[in-house]
Each structure stands twice: as C-alpha cells, then as structure tokens.
Amino acid sequence: MADRVEPKPAQLPLPGGQEGAVVRLHPLLCGEATWPDAWPHRRGGPLTKLRALGFRESRNDWVPIPLVAFLVEHPGFGPFLIDTGLDPSVAEDPRENLGRLVSATGAKTVEMKPEQAVPAQLRERRVDPNDVGLVVMTHLHYDHASGVSQFPRATFLVTGREWEAAHGRAAVTKGYRAGHVDHPFNWHAIDFDERGVSSFSTFGRAFDLFGDGSVHLLSTPGHTRGHMSVLLHTGAGDVLAVGDAAYTRRTLRTGHLPAFMDDEHLFRRSLREIQLFSEQRPDAVLIPGHDMGAWRTLEPVYG
C-alpha cells in the first residue's frame, strides 16, 4: 500500500433523506464459526480469558455463531450495507484473508460458502453491488471488515476512534487486520464527541444518518473503542442492529459480560442504553452480534 489511508470527516446527514421514509432491511448470513460459550459469557476466576479461547472447555461447550452483515434499502439514498461480511477467498482458505493469528484462535473454525459473499447475496436480491454507495461499519473487527475490498465505489462510514483503534498498537491481537481496511477508498470518520451531537431515545449520542429519522447511528463503545449500533425504522417496525455491543440474547437479557472487552465500563454503559431501549420499546426487534438462535428467528426481510 503506497500512502497511508486516512479518513476524511464525514458530513451528515447524507443526501437522499425523505420525510416519513422507512427502509427495507435484509439480514445476511455471511458465514459461520464456532467458539466456546466462555467467550460470549465469561467464566469467573483467573482463567477467564484462556477458557474463552477453549482451554479446559469441553467440546460440548462450543457453540455455532453467525457472521453477519445487513443490506438496507433507503427510498431516497438507495442500497447501503451495514458491515461487509467475509471476503470471498475465505470460502477457499480462511488463513489467506484472515491471517495466521486469527486462524490460531477463531478463524480456523470459520466456514463460508462462496454464495455467502455479500456481492453474491446482493445479486440474489436484485441489487447490483456497484450501486452500493455506502457501507456503515459497526466496527472494524476482521469478521465485519473482511469484505471491504468488495466495495471500492462505496463511501465507508466508521467512527474516528474505531479507525484509530484498528491502527493502534497491537491492533492485530485485538481482532483487527490492517489489510482489510487500508484500501484507498472513500473512508469517512464520524465523531460522536463533536459539538451538536444529540441523544436519541435512550442513547446518549446518536446521528440521524439521512436527517429523516429512518436510520440512526448510535454510539455503543466498549466492545471496541469506537463501536456503533444502528437503529432502522423499517416498514415492519424498528430493528436495532446491536452489533457486538451484545453478542447474545442472554447478554441483552441478563447483562452477562463476554470474556473480552476493550473497556468494561463503556461496555456496561452501552449495554444499559440498549437494555433501556428494549424496555421502552418492547415492539422493536433487537439483533445481537453473534447469536445463532436469535439469528434463526429473524425474518428474511423487514419492510
């Protein structure tokens, strides 16, 4: 890579907003992996992290998890994505794209069929991948950013904090692969700390993406330094793509924490905002980041 890629400040709201707009949401299953249940639901004691990696965990305690992305269709803006799923090469050989360190932990269990690549899934839904003008990145972990290179024409929205974390010290040990994101694409950084950022519902800091209330970007750090969740006002009701701010329904329900967090205090605060939202809006569908049981309850399309 010649020059270091740096994101430009994002200008929100984006064009295309329409009064009263609702979006269509397509959850996309992009692959599967397995992990010990001690990863999403930490065990106590000094071996917490080792057990999350499978040490002393029985094979029966490993669970399948979905690796996911979302297609969203906005009536004025057009199609956009939330996260990118996996690079098509992962279907052949996960190590090439995901790297050796990742392979040493989770990626050796990653399974992907070629037809699960996001461009293939878009075509199946009669959406031309070249028409995807925007990708909202909840965060830059390898299982969310692996497919970035598939969308060279899109503008990528990420928080500035997340970008820094993905390029910071020991980023590779924290689940980032610079090779996934360091493409000279249109990277735009959003800053939830800037003046004028307002709260929305139970969330302290939010952006109204198109200025029409159809899509809100919500600051939910803790899993990673710059994580965000996305609230979608679909024709079939509101859906909250929680991302990895909660991996599972159990964490949403009971607050049981995962083994690895960038910042436990921030994780708890973000989780509380999500839980309060769920209490106030029991009609809303919440999609946790890596819960196969929850994933199987979803509709193919919302709206």
Binding site residues, Zn ion, CB under 5 A: 141, 244
Shortest spacing between CB 136 and Zn ion, in angstroms: 15
DSSP character string of 251-275: HHHH-PPPS--S-HHHHHHHHHHHH
**Of 85 and 133, CB closest to Zn ion:** 85
Sequence-distant (6+) residues with CB within 8 A of 25 are 70, 71, 72, 232, 234, 239, 301, 302, 303
Shortest spacing between CB 177 and Zn ion, in angstroms: 12
**Of 125 and 268, CB closest to Zn ion:** 268
CA 70 centroid distance within chain: 9
129: tokens are: 């991948």
**Of 160 and 288, CB closest to Zn ion:** 288
SS3 249: helix
Residue 246, classified by CB atoms within 10 Å of its CB into exposed (0-12), middle (13-18) or buried (19+), is buried
Helix (H) or strand (E) holding 94, with range, is helix 94-98
Shortest spacing between CB 239 and Zn ion, in angstroms: 19
**Of 22 and 52, CB closest to Zn ion:** 52
Shortest spacing between CB 289 and Zn ion, in angstroms: 7
**Of 24 and 141, CB closest to Zn ion:** 141
Shortest spacing between CB 290 and Zn ion, in angstroms: 8
